[in-house]
Amino acid sequence: MFGIYLDPASRTPVTSQLCNQLRQKIEYGELAEGTRLPPTRRLAQEFGIARNIAIDAYEQLIAEGYLIGQPGSGTYVAEGIRLTATSRSNAEMPVMIPGIDDQPKAKDLIDFTVGTPDLQSFPRKIWAKYLKTAAETAPGELYDYGDIRGVQELRVEIAAYLHRTRGMRCHSGQIMIVSGSSEGMALIAQAMRPSFASVYLEDPTIEFAQHIFFHAHYGITPMEVDASGMRLHEISRFQNGHLMLLTPSHQFPTGSILSIRRRQHAVRLAEQADAYIIEDDYDGDFRLKGVPIPSLHTLNPDRVIYVGTFSKTLAPGMRIGFLVVPPALLGRFAELKENLNLRAQAVPQAALAQFMKDGRLDRHIHKMKGIYRARRNVLVNALKQKFGDWFRIRGDEAGMHVLLEVTGEPWIDSWQHSAAFGVRVHEVEDYCLLKGKRTHQIVLGYGNVQKEDIETGIERLHQFVQHEAAYLP
């Protein structure tokens, strides 16, 4: 208790030991003022000492002013005790993590962050009811370790959903539930490493994909992305031992769609090399114009490992994603997942299965598409009003972000300084493997920026550009 150790073999009386250690912990700030100490009876039971010893120790420290006793309430650490010079314990010292704790925390900062959906629109009360019902009605085995692939009911619902929205034909047995797409990607990297040593990555691409394959000791071959996706026509055959990672439905961050000719070429290359394509469909539900793009998986289910997530459709805090694994690889993936004991929480899976079965997911996606479409329109109009043709918008009308390209002079040396003007945007260079080619591009996410803040954010961005460049056409 409180890290106190009493040594019955010591020559120092137990009462003195207890007093000394409590006194020291108060002086060092480990027991803060107002902390309620346990009752003497419980303290005596905890340390296996006579209750009179605990009473004597408390009374001694009350007499010295370290503690105060409140009849009928308990014993508390007194206020106003000056801490010693070394009073800050390691547990109370702030731990700063570079890149996380050094970010500006201004309350009025409008952050056009990418990848985060509208958290205010998440149906919390409805979701809470599904969680409660799942927790109360779940069979006993749901509280055991369960199937390494995940809850069967959820995998069945996902298979039906993918067939309905993406045209994918897969069995629920091919689906593996993971804690988000990043864990799914890491699982793929580990499972495939015995057979493959390198990976083709889109350039630019999402940062965590780069990190996952780098830390799994893959060689990385960057492939430039243009308006039609990865420049696959520049590859005549897979290099030995290569996988390929694609975001064909809405490339991040460029927003391009992989053309059907390049899709077919990618599948042919994988077939010829006896290799695999990893399809990251991170926000395919939110195509704001037209219908969702058919999955690359449909061209050859045996050569595509599909990665899906509910982080964009619902909320990243749910930590539920999934893989669709080709039958030939199922044993390899299941064995690795079992060996690492990688299991997502079962109750939220059961809740999500019923949520989908009741049509709640479909209704939520329909609602959010309307919200994101409206926000995108406000963003585009505000950009045109403030910047005219100085910015050009790239990519498909989908997802929750836009890529902006500066069409002429001047370029901005560092967009990070925009935070000083109350707005944060993100440079495409941050997502590039090969640096220096996209210094004139930025990406703005509008998923979690409220509609009323968008125009204010663009006004602040305009002020920043005026300050940095002292020029706008």
Give the list of residues 6+ apart from residue 246 with CB closer than 8 angstroms, or none. Answer: 202, 229, 230, 258, 266, 277, 278, 279, 280, 296
- Greatest extent of the chain over all pairs of C-alpha atoms, in Å: 86
Cα first-last separation, the chain: 68
Which residues does residue 398 pair with via DSSP β-bridges, in sequence order? 287
Q: Closest Cα to residue 384, out of 402, 410, 400, 357?
A: 402
The class that CATH gives domain 122-360 is: alpha beta
User: Strands 401-406 and 219-226, how do they pair?
Assistant: unpaired
Contact 114, 253 (CB under 8 A): yes
Site of tokens 């964009």 = 312
* Ordered strands of the 401-406 beta sheet: 391-394, 401-406, 441-445, 426-427
CATH topology of domain 1-93: Arc Repressor Mutant, subunit A (1.10.10)
Q: In whole angstroms, how far apart are CA 283 and each of 158, 192, 232?
A: 15, 25, 22
Which residues does residue 222 pair with via DSSP β-bridges, in sequence order? 201
Q: Measured between alpha carbons, how far is 206 from 181 in angstroms, rounded to an integer?
A: 12
pLDDT per position in the chain (473 positions), as tens?
Answer: 788 888 888 889 999 999 999 998 888 888 888 999 999 999 899 888 999 999 999 999 999 999 998 888 899 999 988 877 554 544 455 566 665 555 555 668 999 999 899 999 999 999 999 999 999 998 988 999 999 999 999 999 999 999 999 999 999 999 999 999 999 999 999 999 999 999 999 999 999 999 999 999 999 999 999 999 999 999 999 999 999 999 999 999 999 999 999 999 999 999 999 999 999 998 888 888 777 788 999 999 999 999 999 999 999 999 999 999 999 999 999 999 999 999 999 999 999 999 999 999 999 999 999 999 999 999 999 999 999 988 999 888 888 999 999 987 667 888 989 999 999 999 999 999 999 889 899 999 999 999 899 999 999 999 999 888 765 54
CATH topology of domain 110-120+363-469: Aspartate Aminotransferase, domain 1 (3.90.1150)
> Which residue intervals of 178-317 are DSSP H helices?
181-192, 207-215, 260-273
Cα angle, residue 230 at apex, residues 228 and 236 outer, rounded to 5°: 115
pTM of the model: 0.81
Phi-psi region of 399 (alpha: psi -120 to 50; beta: other; left: phi over 0): left
Q: Measured between alpha carbons, how far is 92 from 28 in angstroms, rounded to an integer?
A: 11
**49-53 — which CB contacts under 8 Å span 24+ positions?**
49/6, 49/14, 49/18, 53/14, 53/15, 53/18
Is residue 14 classed as helix, strand or coil in its secondary structure? helix
Q: In whole angstroms, how far apart are CA 20 and each of 63, 89, 309, 397?
A: 14, 17, 55, 68
Q: Measured between alpha carbons, how far is 45 from 282 in angstroms, rounded to an integer?
A: 55
Residue ranges per domain, the chain? 1-93, 110-120+363-469, 122-360
User: Strands 277-280 and 304-309, how do they pair?
Assistant: parallel
Same fold, 1-93 and 122-360: no
